[in-house]
Chain A
Amino acid sequence: MKRMWKFASVAAAASMVLAACGGSDSSTDTTAASDTTAAASEPAASDIKVAVVYLGVPDDKGWTYQHEQGIAAAEAETGVTIKRVENVPDNADSEKTFEQLASEGYNLIFATSFGYGSPMAKVAAKYPAVCNQWATGAKFLLTKDGGGEYATFDDVPKNLGTYFGAAEEARYLSGLAAGKATKNGQLGYVAAFPIPEVIRGINAFTLGVRAMNPSATVKVSWTSTWFDPTKEKQAAEALLDSGVDVIAQHQDTTEPGVAAEAAGAFWVGYNSDVREAAPKAFLTAPTWNWGLFYAKTIEAVKGGTCPSDEYYGSMADGMVTLADPSELVDADAVAEIEAKTAAIKDGSFAPFTGPIRNQDGDEVLKAGEKAELGALLSMDYFVEGVLGSPKG
């Protein structure tokens, strides 16, 4: 008898674990459900079928949420109804999802996570008429040299494009606000994984901070996850305990901000402007505006062409944005942010302009020299002023 219950409870616990893995946040179901139904019941304004594949759910208030904003804006602009496919883990298993979309006649598919690249490329090769767009991707990574399957660039399916943007520009600007706000010159950064995208963001932020406060330091805490409210909060709390008075983040939830507010510190968010999560701490946030790219690509596919280039957006074209600084940001900092924003947009200023030294004090960029895109995309060192290891 006893044994049976032990067994049943273990099995029940396991099935709950499964359910939890599949649908990460059941409390958000109802709104998502009704939205999708309403959208789908309207007649499509065009004969092309478009789908977007999400790693999480559209109301995570982070990465997926921001894509959802762009998708909704693109729907409004183009009149095309877009199918959302949610909670798709970004590994080999996702091939099934892309295959099903292709076989059900979707003409254009957006994939919003890095891990979708290889499965998406496989399906793209099999369905040459379907246009595929891979966010945060790079075709180099699909070639043998980059660790992928294809011998050369030319072998990568032509109906596959990538899109991403220069978040480092907005990161630098947010650093200006943070550098002015800190009182003790110690800042903390909750970061997901030690990869070039994240390292680049930490460096740009630090350069901005030190432009306002040359002796300030930025302490990095790695979480090994993009989305984990508890871990993100704990990492922020550990940083706050060590004495930092500003928290920045490369994470998908607002928990680091909640932790900062509780400790009376400031917060620089990421992905989207969700200042209401921690209004007493929020300074600003580097954000994304994906809608322009989505609308443009839908129009292109409607017109019969599939963009297959590697799109790298910027503040100039509007893909990368900075949330309006809150009233907590000092007026001097606001003026500096405005000046630098204009300079970044007209191309007269780039955050990664020498002289830049790495953590060991070695000069990596000479005075006046600008970092090239390739160097930005493969950045693996921390600049002076960052505390922590770029190897995780």
Chain B
Amino acid sequence: MRAPFRLQFEQRTETPRRLGVLVPLISVLAALFAGALFLLATGHSVGDTYSNMLSDGFFSSTGITDTLGLSTVLICTGIAAAFAFQMNLYNIGGEGQLYVGMIGATWFGLFFGENLPSFIMIPLVLIGGALCGAAWIAIPAWVRARLGTSEIVTTLLLTYVAASLVNHFIYRSGSYFRAPNSMFPQGRQVPDSAMLSPIGDTKMYPTFFVIVLLSLALHWVVRRTEFGYRIQVISDSPRAACYAGISARRTTVQVMLISGGLAGLGGATLIVGSFQRLDPGIVTLGYGYAGIVIAALARNNMAAVVVSGILFAGLRSGGDKLQISTDTPIHIGVMLQGAILLFALGGEAFRRYKIRIVRTPAVGSEVTA
């Protein structure tokens, strides 16, 4: 039997302005509705759960500062992903570049920290982390530019190598990064000069403002500079770019190095912020992978990443806190986070495609088996 109709996806040449607002709004409402059904089915209060999630994520004073603190690293990995994605370079390995950024930042902190003052150390550690993140993507960038090797595979696989490196530097006895004398393998704390203090009584660090400014600056670079123009031309049409004398190879390498550097910078913000040492526990947090989703929610717009990064952080922070503020088990918090993201990303299809119901011809123009 054939269905009497089928769905047809037609790509929109232009997205109506109202859809740009309506689609995300309806997506989030649909996600909340789906989540509500799940909450009702498991016997939890819908109102309590949502109001607690919102207040823990965004509206209470500790809620919003926790969220902004967490968003710092997420915005970094978000712009890292978005910067590469906008040239159709899929750097999936922001997670690994983040680890290597942490390793690099810790090394700079430990090596120079005793002798240099804070106003030199903080920028040095941040830049050191970024350089190491860029170094970690250098090989994928080069083989992509030279041989066309899929950067999806190379960057992702290098993430596992980076995770092993972090473990190696902490669990190998006598490692430079490991606390000496400690019976338990744990990272050595960077000197005071390489640490920032949180803003007041919060878990937010001044790096948040630096990263927001950096995102806006990158937005400007993409929109207003010759470099940004090159990226646009290459992503729209590599052939046209070639004809215009733009070197796609060189730009590929540049864009990927910047992307890796931004992810590495994210790792460095953790070192000068809450982590203060190389910690193998980073591999359970998935901040780098989160950047991919954040970039997707922001449609690879550097400035919008700030907003989607904060939303994502609030959702995560609020969802994680649900199990303490209410009696909702952690799995429900995680499920709600996932549902909202999935609906928001799924809604994209409605923005980009016109979906039409097409009747299938009733009489046998085709043979049915």
- Chain A residues in contact with chain B, CB under 8 A? 1, 3-4, 6-8, 10-12, 14-19, 21-23, 26, 29-30, 32-33, 36-37, 40-41, 51, 83-87, 89-93, 95-97, 99-101, 103-104, 114-115, 138, 140-141, 145-149, 193-196, 224, 377-378, 380, 391-392
Contacts and interface: CB of A to CB of B under 8 A. Distances in A.
Interface SS majority for chain A: helix
B42 A33 contact: yes
Given A14-B293, A23-B334, A85-B324, A147 B172 contact: no
Q: Which of B173, B286, B324 has the most CB of A within 10 A?
A: B324
A86 B274 CA distance: 22
A56 to B, nearest CB: 11
B285 A89 contact: yes
A19 B337 contact: yes
Given A15-B345, A146-B181, A378-B183, A93 B285 contact: yes
B112 interface: no
A36 B20 CA distance: 42
Contacts of A378: 183
Contacts of A86: 323, 329-330
Interface string B325-369: 101011111110110011001001100100000000000000000
Contacts of B203: 95-96, 99
Given A196-B183, A196-B184, 16 more contacts: A3-B88, A4-B352, A10-B152, A15-B338, A18-B337, A18-B338, A19-B334, A21-B284, A22-B333, A23-B335, A33-B331, A91-B279, A103-B62, A147-B186, A149-B189, A193-B185
A372 to B, nearest CB: 14
Given A11-B293, A89-B281, A92-B276, A141 B186 contact: yes
Contacts of A196: 183-184
12 contacts: A23-B331, A33-B42, A91-B281, A96-B317, A100-B324, A141-B182, A147-B180, A147-B182, A147-B187, A149-B189, A194-B185, A391-B173
A4 B299 CA distance: 12
A147 to B, nearest CB: 2
B154 interface: no
A1 B345 CA distance: 16
Interface string B122-163: 000000000000000000000000000000100000000000
A12 B281 contact: no
B188 A18 contact: no
B96 to A, nearest CB: 13
B303 interface: no
A146 B289 CA distance: 33
Nearest to B152: A10
Q: Which of A92, A95, A97 has the most CB of B within 10 A?
A: A92
The 9 closest A-B pairs by CB, nearest first: A147-B179, A91-B281, A147-B182, A22-B334, A19-B338, A23-B334, A14-B292, A11-B296, A40-B327
Interface in B284-300: 284-286, 289-290, 292-293, 296
A4 B349 CA distance: 9
Interface of B: 11, 42-44, 62, 66, 85, 88, 90, 92, 152, 167, 171-173, 178-189, 203, 270, 274-276, 279, 281-282, 284-286, 289-290, 292-293, 296, 317, 319-321, 323-325, 327, 329-335, 337-338, 341-342, 345, 348-349, 352
Nearest to A115: B281
A83 B323 CA distance: 9
Q: Which of B90, B275, B284, B338 has the most CB of A within 10 A?
A: B284
A217 B348 CA distance: 61
Given A11-B293, A33-B331, A100-B325, A22 B11 contact: no
Q: Which of A41, A91, A101 has the most CB of B within 10 A?
A: A91
A23 B339 CA distance: 14
Contacts of A145: 181
Contacts of B342: 12, 15
B286 A10 contact: no
Q: Which of B183, B296, B323, B338 has the most CB of A within 10 A?
A: B183
Nearest to A11: B296
A36 B172 contact: no
Q: Which of A11, A51, A104, A149 has the most CB of B within 10 A?
A: A11
Nearest to B85: A7
A350 B180 CA distance: 30
A36 B88 contact: no
A196 B352 CA distance: 57
Given A8-B345, A29-B329, A40-B327, A1 B181 contact: no
Contacts of B90: 6-7, 10
B183 A36 contact: no
A16 B178 CA distance: 33
A12 B183 CA distance: 41
Contacts of B289: 14, 17-18
A379 B250 CA distance: 54
A87 B292 contact: no
Contacts of B333: 22
A155 to B, nearest CB: 14
A10 B300 CA distance: 14
Contacts of A84: 323
A85 B85 CA distance: 37
Contacts of A141: 182-184, 186
A21 B285 contact: yes
Contacts of B345: 8, 11-12, 15
Nearest to B179: A147
